[in-house]
A and B are shown apart, each in its own frame.
Chain A
Amino acid sequence: MSTVTAPDDATAVQASENFRRVYRDIKFQVARVMVGQEEVIDGVLAALLAGGHVLLEGVPGLGKTLLVRSLAQAVDTQFSRIQFTPDMMPADIQGTSVLLENERGQHELRFQEGPLVSNLVLADEINRATPKTQSALLEAMQERQISVGRRTIKLEEPFCVLATQNPVEQEGTYPLPEAQLDRFLFKLVVGYPLEKDYASILDRTTGDQEVTIVPATHSDEIVRMRHVVRAVPVPDHAKRYAIHLVMATQPGSDYAPAQVNQCVALGSSPRGAQALLLAAKVKALVNGRYAVSAADIKAVALPVLRHRLVINFHGQSEGVTDETIVRTVLNHVALPDEPRS
């Protein structure tokens, strides 16, 4: 890992420009394979650069796995894919001690790392694994380490879990627990491609030309970019706005609208506010600014907050979704110091 130096006020400009350039390059490489889905690509890149994890949700055939694989090739990092199945055990992803024979013909237990020890981990169809196996990701996602027995393995940076799940096929699946959902920075909903994108998708997938992704950056650059993201300051009014947004999702708070009080059982945790600021920092840098604005927070609020809400029975019976709640909160909480005309 390279030594990261603190940028001074001149290099802040340079670091910001460099950030945008690398961001554009990665996005360009991914877009060579992935047609459309700009918001999803932006979200995945933002999560990667903010140091978070992403949950991709979409029906089969929309390119979720392709997106993650392309991203791994574009950033040239160690990539592992875990296909979650109902019979998978925590040791299957964390690693376990296996009996091996050494050169002298003796047998010894040696720890073999699981696929979780990697930079980019694609947890494909994560909701097919049992909660026991899903919980094996908790420590890795939050603490960036794995504890197996008495062994603790520090995961190398950048570490990013990109999980996919299918909202339609529910037979034999296990919904992610709230503790794990809260650890995802974004929940991105992959929708159907636009009509104008279909032709390109068909040309690229049914032709004989294979697109080779050229690595746009490497792990050290990603780590450096993460430091740059952390250095972006947040003014007070934007911080207040993020706090108000998160508190507005909590039923019973001063900022909660009526729909939240009626239909939400659990609101976002403070981790939601952290995620809002981190994602907004990336957005500010991508937009060429050196500080976060409230508009940045508002732009990332939906993918950040939508999976941190628990709708109660009343809300479910009314057909209220988490997306509805977030939009209501965004309409309810005014931008700080916004002049009312």
Chain B
Amino acid sequence: MPNSSPLTPSLPSAQARNLRLQGHLDTLVRSGRRWLRGQHRRRALRAAASWSPAWLPVLPGVLLVGTAFSGGAVAAPGALVLVCAALLGAVLFICVRVGWEQLRFKPARATALALHDSHLQTAERLVTADDFLKRTDLETTAPHGAFLRAAIRDADTVAHTALSTPLPRSVRPPWRVEPLSCWGAPVALALIVCSHLFFAPGGAPDLAPFAAPTLASDSNSATDQGEVARVAVARPVPPPPPPPEAAPPQDPTANVSRPVNRPPSREQPSDGQPGSGGGAQASGSNSGTVAAGLASSQRGEPQPQPPPDPQAEEPAEEPKTESKKTPRRPPDAGQMTVSANSGRGKSAGSSSSLNNFEAPEDPDKTGEGNFADAEDESAEDEDEQENSNSASKPMSNRRDPPVDRNLSPRAPQEGDQPGNGRGGPGDLKKTRGVPSMILGIPVPDRVPGMPGPGRSKVAQEHTRPTEEVHAALDAQSRLARSGPIGAVEQPDLLPWRRVLIENYFLAVRETPMADEAAAPVSTDRTSTLPQPPTRIQP
């Protein structure tokens, strides 16, 4: 009985209602779009206004440059003209920007309806009804068809409410601009006016100083336009570089004595200074720097060179240092590099580690280089094989003996590492997973089957315990006790004696019960004391 229900209108009336709702929704879409466009226009205006100070000097600059290049054929514009041009440039920018934004902004139909929905807090009933009205299965007898029609009917009342409820008057955005832009406009204007007044001789608004600002500060008499133009063409050269004394100290012979095709050294021992390693790496690995140093020393003209910057030179160096055996490593992987170096038993710094990746530039040129390369390659192969087969890789940076991989619990021994998950002797679980093979990444212990193990933090400090010096305590004679003694245990109460006393009192309690009736009644307290038994069993 669907048609007999008062909630179920007949089909024509339902269609008429749907058409009416469609019209309401169209009206709401128009008003919503209007509101959205207004909002967008204001937003664009605000954004354009914040950028407009940057356009203030554009038109005046164009005018001044055009006047300067005209060679005096065009009269110089006055200050008022410049100010107007500046304002005109900013206004033009704002207009173009706002217009462009308005052209681009096309709010969707659903967006306009969602605006009313969000305003009326109707849980997207209007958007949903607009969507359902387009459906072809609206009149279906399937269960969802009933809900489609119910949702449309539900939105009908909401649409009426939305039509009668105007959208909130668009809140005018506060005419505040960004701090920089806020100060930008007056600053730009002030700069234009001040520069005009400053360069003008005698305060007259003359354009000549604008045409040649570099000369105007030197000679105020150079007002002739032709002379100004000549001076403007002869631009001053940039200041010469600083004298060689000002350059950072660098030994020019170091580059000369260093052969270009030297056999690649496997390591450069560091002297412990922080910058020494970087300097050696920079001067030794960059062939371009070496060549420049050679040329300059042959000419005998020591040119000032910038201080060596290893980090800046690394990217240029990488393609040359890449070899088939040494993989490229990221520059920031300092810990991994140090670990790899120390695994070879070298105490080299970061500079030496970088030099290890230095490849010979042309190994075929010198036989010595080839021989040295063969030796190096064999040594590297041995080292790599040793490292890959050894279990000491994770601990190699400390040159410690290989950790025990025995997972069964055992008593701690001397020299064992703390049980931090890397083969320690403790009862904690030791991981053997992939993370344990990654150098330098502390891996917290994880018991299998822990979906939420909580936060854990593992801090590994590779330090040795150090002895702290402490002053020895002075000997002091023993003093008498000053505080209360408290409960002092009776030294006489030895175990056998306590048993003796206990037996005594037990015997005493037994005897009066038997003799109580026969005993005379007396008020004398002393007469009631129990008499000791004749025989006491210890």
**A residues apposed to B, CB below 8 Å:** 6-13, 16, 127, 167, 170-176, 227-228, 230-233, 235-238, 287, 289-291, 293-296, 313, 319, 336-339, 341
Contact = CB atoms under 8 A, between A and B. Distances in A.
A341 B39 contact: yes
B250 interface: no
Contacts of A237: 110, 124, 127-128, 131
B7 interface: yes
Nearest to B116: A339
Classify the interface of chain A: helix, strand, loop or mixed: loop
B146 A6 contact: yes
B115 A290 contact: no
A290 B113 CA distance: 18
Contact of B108 (A13, A227, A295, A337): A337
A175 B2 CA distance: 52
B147 A337 contact: no
Interface in B129-164: 131-132, 141-151, 153-154
B123 interface: yes
B451 interface: yes
Given A170-B449, A237-B110, 8 more contacts: A8-B2, A167-B452, A170-B451, A173-B449, A237-B124, A237-B128, A290-B150, A291-B151
B528 to A, nearest CB: 54
Contacts of B295: none
Contact of A336 (B110, B112, B143): B110
Given A167-B451, A337-B127, A289 B151 contact: yes
B488 interface: no
B111 A295 contact: no
Interface in B402-446: 435
A236 B131 contact: yes
Query: Which residue of B112, B124, B125, B149 has the most chain A CB atoms within 10 A of its CB atom?
Result: B124
Nearest to A16: B150
B114 interface: yes
Query: Which residue of A10, A293, A319 has the most chain B CB atoms within 10 A of its CB atom?
Result: A10
A12 B150 contact: yes
B118 interface: yes
Given A293-B123, A293-B124, A11 B114 contact: no
Contacts of A13: 7, 150
B128 A293 contact: yes
Classify the interface of chain B: helix, strand, loop or mixed: helix
Nearest to A307: B451
A233 B132 contact: yes
A9 B149 CA distance: 6
Contacts of B108: 337
B335 to A, nearest CB: 15
B450 interface: yes
Query: Which residue of A16, A176, A290 has the most chain B CB atoms within 10 A of its CB atom?
Result: A290
Interface string B1-14: 01001011000000
A291 B8 contact: no
Contacts of B147: 7, 9, 12, 231-233, 290-291
29 contacts: A6-B143, A6-B146, A9-B149, A9-B153, A10-B8, A11-B5, A12-B143, A12-B150, A13-B7, A167-B451, A170-B451, A231-B143, A232-B147, A235-B127, A237-B128, A287-B123, A289-B154, A290-B150, A293-B124, A295-B123, A319-B455, A337-B108, A338-B111, A338-B114, A338-B118, A339-B36, A339-B112, A339-B115, A339-B118
Contacts of B132: 233, 235, 291
Contacts of B142: 6, 231
Nearest to A295: B123
Query: Which residue of B5, B8, B449 has the most chain A CB atoms within 10 A of its CB atom?
Result: B449
B471 to A, nearest CB: 45
Interface string B157-174: 000000000000000000
B447 A171 contact: yes
B449 A290 contact: no
Contact of B143 (A230, A235, A238, A339): A230
Contact of A9 (B32, B127, B131, B145): B145
Among all A-B residue pairs, the 6 with the closest Cβ atoms: A231-B143, A12-B146, A8-B2, A9-B149, A10-B5, A337-B110
